[in-house]
Structure 1
Amino acid sequence: MRRKHIKCLVGVTVTAATALGSATVPTAAAGHADHVVRPGASIQSAVNAASPGDTIVILPGTYRESVLIKTPGLTLRGIGDRTVIRPAATATKAANACATEGNGVCVVGTKGHTVDDVSIHSLTVSGFKKSGVWASWTDGLTVRRVTATKNGTWGIAQERSTRAAFLRNTATGNGDAGVFVANSVSEEGGATDTRGTEIRENTLSGNRIGVTARRVRNLVIDSNRITANCSGVFVVGDESKPAAGAMTISGNRIVKNNKFCAATPRLSAIQGSGIVLTGSERTVVRSNVVRDNVGATPLSGGILLFKSFVGALNTDNSVTRNLVQGNKPADLANRDTTGKGNTFDSNTCGTSVPAGMCAE
């Protein structure tokens, strides 16, 4: 079971002496403190001064910096869309690794020492060259009510991490996926068991892909609203073991993902794709609404099974009780006919390839 931490944030009074900087104020939780950051002060300085269990409260304003978190148990909390983090105006030699890699907020551990139970809440990260939020080697990360917009690659992304929760975020206009979860972005290898990572109730639009789950397993993609991307949900596997999959994609509304994205060295052009499984095993696609995803690429259509681009097959996947209508060239398509054990059952749809997969 994923660990949960509940902490009450008490009222904070910022005195005149701290009006241009940050204040550290004790909280009701013994030994924990709130570090209050005002415009003109450094979020990173407050993070560096914090101890495990502390909260960094970022008051409304625009902060031009990247923030690197390596301390477990920290909470980084803004005041909704009034707290905005953007890239620094000019590069400096003192920039942290998060900034030099082009990311906005980073939570970074190591293989032998994960950074656990960090929470990022209620702020906007925008305009970064790579990712708005980036995590590597973490456990129990929570990203909630964050807006990630117009970042060059991913809105919110993690690799090599477990038991994360991405909840009620908004990711729009990012160069690749709005939410991206992977085993590793720099190495080949078998799928990471995410131990129950949750991607729930997010709004994802205008990205290349709404959600990408690449070489990962044991996670839930549920109750998201996904529209106006090139593809809604993309599960990517390959021939490595363990295989990608063992996940549930359920209760999502995936509508009109009809933006066109040109081919890349790793992927053909995509447009009008609702849910795509490539090289996946034992994935359950259930009770989704997938409508009006229209395109003319090999990956276009409502819900598709497609052999991975390195030849890995889809096996033992279940597509059940989905409402799939108005998608072209087909609502349901099994384009991986050599895959074994894949089933389509009780789906409400109009067209399928091969024919006969829609419920009467």
Structure 2
Amino acid sequence: MALRIVPTDFLTVQDAIVASSPGDSIKILAGTFDGFEVDVENLKIFGCGIGRTIIAGAPAQGTSDGVVVSADRTILQGFTVQGFQASGVEVNSNNNILKSIESTASNNGFTNNGENNLIIKCVASINGGHGFEFLDSGRMSCLIRNESSQNFLRGFSVNGRINFFIHNIAKDNVNAGFFLFGTLNSVWSNTSIRNQFGVQIEFNSTSNQVIKNNVCNNVNSGIIVQTFVGPGLNVIDSNIVRNNGTDDTDAGILIPTGRTGNTIRFNKARNNFEFDIEAGPGAEPPNNTFDGNKCGNSDPPGLCT
């Protein structure tokens, strides 16, 4: 297992990767370097820290992305990626770890197309699209203690299945803080503040869990469940939902007309506009289950205890 240092041993990160074997490590010193593709398995590539080691300039060869992870069991840690036409970091493989990476001023911050990936303590900000995007093949992965802010679309956008979002922050994003368009995803103990929507569960999303989150001060509804075809089977449980909404189409927790089969329970909702909890025609009990919610008002009445 060898250690290769950029730019001391190799001028570029890509040159160091080409010379590496599985199990090797690459240290990137402070400075600015071109993008790269990781196509050798089981490499550890680490910089000197966010803002000190910077990946900018030319993208990974053959792409418009900054860093592309194509090999399994890669560990990336400790650098900034900025200014790329596509994604700052795109992961197309499995069983990888991304830790303490900043992705800024690209189209998307991070894009996950793989399975069983861990993304921890990363930052996505001021990107033209999403901060963190999970495509259909982005499955069974875990995001812990990341921050996604001031992106021009969504903070966390999820099309995949069976992903876990724990203790993340989405703030000041132009669209939703958390946008779920997949199945069996869990959003636990996150914070979503000052976005357009706090948590948005979209039309074909079923069996998602939104539990113990702080959802506050979002422009439109705090949590909206828009699953339309068949029972949604989404669980909205024990969230704090405050000060969301600006007009009569909004609510703290909103179940629009005709949405059925969801469970909304034990939430604390206050000072939302126009209602703390609202269920449209056909979405009221017994079409959805409302139980143990502490709130100031609801439409129809009786959804609060």
TM-score range with shorter-chain normalisation? 0.7 to 0.9
Task: State the shift of 1:24 in Å.
Answer: 6.3
1:132 and 2:109 equivalent?
yes
Conserved? CA contact 2:256–2:283, under 8 Å = no
1:86 and 2:53 equivalent?
no
Which aligned pairs between 1:193-232 and structure 2 lie closer than 5 A? 194=161, 196-207=162-173, 208-214=175-181, 216-232=182-198
Give the alignment's TM-score, normalised by structure 2: 0.85
Query: Residue deviations 1:240-296, cap 9 Å, x none?
Result: xxxx211211010011112xxxxxxxxxxxx2x110000261111111100111311
Equivalent residue number for residue 73 of structure 2: 73
Task: State the shift of 1:344 in Å.
Answer: 0.9
Query: Residue deviations 1:38-72, cap 9 Å, x none?
Result: 32444516x24xx2221111223322141112111
Equivalent residue number for residue 266 of structure 1: none
Given the alignment, which residue of 305, 329, 332 partners 2:277? 332
Given the alignment, which residue of 211, 218, 233 partners 2:199? 233
Give the Cα–Cα distance (whole angstroms) in 2 for the partners of residues 72 and 34 of structure 1: 14
Conserved? CA contact 2:6–2:27, under 8 Å = no
Equivalent residue number for residue 123 of structure 1: 101
Task: State the shift of 1:237 in Å.
Answer: 1.4
Give the Cα–Cα distance (whole angstroms) in 2 for the partners of residues 229 and 204 of structure 1: 8
1:169 and 2:130 equivalent?
no
Query: Residue deviations 1:164-216, cap 9 Å, x none?
Result: 11111100011111000015xxxxxxxxxx1x3101110110012100001x1
Query: Residue deviations 1:309-350, cap 9 Å, x none?
Result: xxxx42221111111011110000001425763011111000
Equivalent residue number for residue 159 of structure 2: 182
1:144 and 2:144 equivalent?
no
Backbone CA RMSD of aligned residues: 2.5
Task: State the shift of 1:73 in Å.
Answer: 1.4
Conserved? CA contact 1:302–1:327, under 8 Å = yes
Conserved? CA contact 2:260–2:288, under 8 Å = yes
- In structure 2, give the amino acid aligned to 1:306: P
Task: State the shift of 1:123 in Å.
Answer: 1.2
Task: State the shift of 1:157 in Å.
Answer: 0.3
Which aligned pairs between 1:1-360 and structure 2 lie closer than 5 A? 14=5, 17-18=8-9, 32-38=23-29, 39-44=31-36, 47-48=38-39, 51-59=40-48, 60-64=52-56, 65=59, 66-78=66-78, 83-87=79-83, 99=85, 102-108=86-92, 115-128=93-106, 130-136=107-113, 138-160=114-136, 161-183=138-160, 194=161, 196-207=162-173, 208-214=175-181, 216-238=182-204, 244-258=205-219, 271=220, 273-279=221-227, 281-296=232-247, 298=249, 300-307=250-257, 313-337=258-282, 341-359=287-305
Structure 2: 5+ residue stretches without partners: 60-65
Give the Cα–Cα distance (whole angstroms) in 2 for the partners of residues 15 and 217 of structure 1: 42
Conserved? CA contact 1:21–1:40, under 8 Å = no
Secondary structure of 2:42's match?
coil
Secondary structure of 1:117's match?
coil
Conserved? CA contact 1:236–1:278, under 8 Å = yes
Give the alignment's TM-score, normalised by structure 1: 0.73
Task: State the shift of 1:31 in Å.
Answer: 5.1
Task: State the shift of 1:354 in Å.
Answer: 0.5
Structure 1: 5+ residue stretches without partners: 1-9, 89-98, 109-114, 184-193, 239-243, 259-270, 308-312
Give the Cα–Cα distance (whole angstroms) in 1 for the partners of residues 287 and 197 of structure 2: 25
Give the Cα–Cα distance (whole angstroms) in 2 for the partners of residues 282 and 343 of structure 1: 10
Task: State the shift of 1:20 in Å.
Answer: 5.6
